[in-house]
Structure 1
């Protein structure tokens, strides 16, 4: 009920902000998931009218780091994500405390916490929008110490989340890239494709796609193609296919290395592989308006046998005539 009031009558509740803040923060640690979820959304709404957001950020960071129950840590992270989006301005102290906390949380032992931390880090950095500051966060993320799957996966997920969110701001990732050591990032990704842990390879495939969009490094396309064709983990192949789709939107659009792998995946018996491969084909061959990407068919003709090329043309035509929301 309080959440609905905030959504509809937020300005009339300004006098109650401190009390509401206290209630919602307390409910983030409620044992019931539904209560925690409502509290995180309510905090997000509250930030739209909060005159002093800094105490909320401080409290949320504390819960993220100190709550004993993983569900409470994840709820605090999701509340922090909403606060980052809705706050009228980011407190200066939060620009250092929040990224530092997120880089710890992406290494958490619980997957729901790691995922929430990565998503929050990306949204927060997009809000910062200062290339040098974001590059510093990325450099800290890629240098996370430790060799556990949580630490390596957290490192990769943090990097990919930040780059993906920042790519939504025109020209921001290019400016960020000016302050990054390309060789360090490519080295970590190259090594992680050989990890024994499927969870690491899965996160790595997404990171590789984001780094390709940033650097245009052709070796990343080869690695993604290899993952699509031969990785033993289905989830890794799915992640690599999603990465292939992302590469289609890169300014360089140099994707011939992926076309044969994605086309082969679209012929597999696994229904989910075929479905995601179709999405990848859409990303590689069609732009956001549904028009054909320049040079895509020429690249396909250079790597596919005539029968596969003919099939591909028919498949792309079908995708082009089918709204994506209707399924593929």
Structure 2
């Protein structure tokens, strides 16, 4: 199974044209007619490549982020996103997703089972219903009514990992960053968050995840909660989050980042200010959990910040190798 720890060494990264770039935490370009797409974590390279096909064809940011999220749900095999995700403590794999356009339209699904593309169901919720969020059996019933196929998604590897976990049933998520040369547990709280601006200056964003491994049955994180894991305002910018979702829900984190940008902060400064707020309100949050924010404003500036070390994000401005790169975010309270 591909994990974030091994992803950088796979042929997928090379095929996508990705390189690890030692860049500043914020990048700038004129708005003009130049599109851009950014995604969380190293698997964002593949998501960006999928999204770029739409942007390069003068497609919409909304179509682009959906395409990138669909790639993560189907083609990536990762323990925290899509079909290879780890299940809850009862052995049930549930998926969460949200999508939002710059005009304020949004849709989401949470705790949906056996539907391969929750991001596309979320878009259907946005476009075909008066609602924003559908959950559980209702979300699955709606998906089937819209033509989505019910497909068992729990893989043999994920089932084996769950069976191994059951031997101790110890639930103690650790920060993703390495400690003393030893990798942390990255299987618990990674999310594909993807933001794009198209050639017409329109913004959109999407999130998709299988949530925390071994979570309580029914637990929902920030990814499908508009304002927590994702928020887009076409007049200002867009933000997405990754890490321990409860912290983003408590702080309305993605919305907070966008509001800081509305006040005039750069994307990087806005992400930093949101983390400062979280730690000021909950000092205990600075110990043992990861909180990451990635933001894109209407000018195409990109910035990110993470509570702990180890967060990377991918930025794509074209199809060649130099245009789809990873950037290491700044760390605020990391070791």
- Identify the TM-score tier after normalising by the shorter chain: under 0.3
Structure possessing the higher radius of gyration over alpha carbons: 1
Q: TM-score with structure 1 length normalisation?
A: 0.27
More helix by share: 1
